[in-house]
Amino acid sequence: MIWGGIEAGGTKFVCAVAAEDGHILDRTQFPTEAPAPTVAKAVDFFRSASRDLAGIGIASFGPVDLAGGRITSTPKPGWRNFGIAGAIHDKLGVKVAFDTDVNSAALGEGKWGAGRGLDTFLYLTVGTGIGGGAVVGGRLVHGLHHPEMGHIRVPHDGSFAGVCPYHGDCLEGLACGKAMEERCGCRAEDLPGDHPVWQEEARLLSYGLVNWIATLSPQLIIMGGGVMKHGGLFPALRTRVAALLNGYVPIPEIVPPALGDDAGVLGAVALCL
């Protein structure tokens, strides 16, 4: 059987078809434009990639209405209340599964990546935004809605107002790629490794990690996303988290996704398996 996955991100869409073992057979990616042309490109890819698609998983930026298959209160123009799951189902006529990008990535890492064999772990992404998905007791966390972990509040010195249109200085507002760009006037990937903003980034993210460790007690924390490609962040975070927790509780390992840049789209595939 061949399965499809769409990593529907705020910046880009990644589409892939994969075998049941997570082996990617074909993939494409393109920038996220307005909903109609973006969905049309995804549909074209799946039509040409396989005639025997058993289902498609959509790993979407959020917040989403899981039952309705819709993106809800996004600040992204045109996407608010767009029913992406229905749009894909209508065009391709296959079973569609739908969850947040980060919940999906957690599921994918649990199935084929760093989270194999664990029942309680986190997948975090620090990129354009900050988000987290969690597997707890072997299952994705849903609850009333779904986690929106990037929007926690952490200590900061008030010198930067933050970029989150809903909260200003939530963790995402202070520490996402867009926030780094606004602080420094250039993209995070273009910043020198010894720029002081990396220290501030590690400081802010370490508060987030401590809060998630205290709340969920994960066996492992997997951190992906563009900002995490800065090599110095992982050791800086491990050191700061240990200092902040101060021996009170055990500390999980903090590692990059084993699926690398495929964590998102393979997570989408995992949703429909």
Burial (CB < 10 A; 0-12, 13-18, 19+), residue 12, is: middle
Prior bond to 63 cis, omega within 30? Answer: yes
Looking at beta carbons only, is 193 or 247 nearer to its own copies?
A: 247
**Per CB under 8 A, 40 contacts its own copies:** no
Burial (CB < 10 A; 0-12, 13-18, 19+), residue 256, is: middle
**Rounded to the nearest whole angstrom, what is the least distance from the CB of residue 95 to its own copies in the complex?**
23
Looking at beta carbons only, is 231 or 250 nearer to its own copies?
A: 250
Evaluate whether 184 touches 76 at the Cβ level (below 8 Å). Answer: no
Looking at beta carbons only, is 97 or 164 nearer to its own copies?
A: 164
Look up residue 91 and give its amino acid: K
**Per CB under 8 A, 120 contacts its own copies:** yes
Looking at beta carbons only, is 48 or 215 nearer to its own copies?
A: 215
* Cα separation, 179 vs 105, whole angstroms: 23
45, 46, 123, 207: residue in contact with its own copies (rule CB under 8 A): 207
**Rounded to the nearest whole angstrom, what is the least distance from the CB of residue 200 to its own copies in the complex?**
15
Tokens, residue 104: 């999906």
The residue ranges that bind its own copies (CB under 8 A) are 63, 73, 119-121, 132, 134, 136-137, 139, 141-156, 166-167, 169, 207, 210-212, 214-219, 244-250, 252
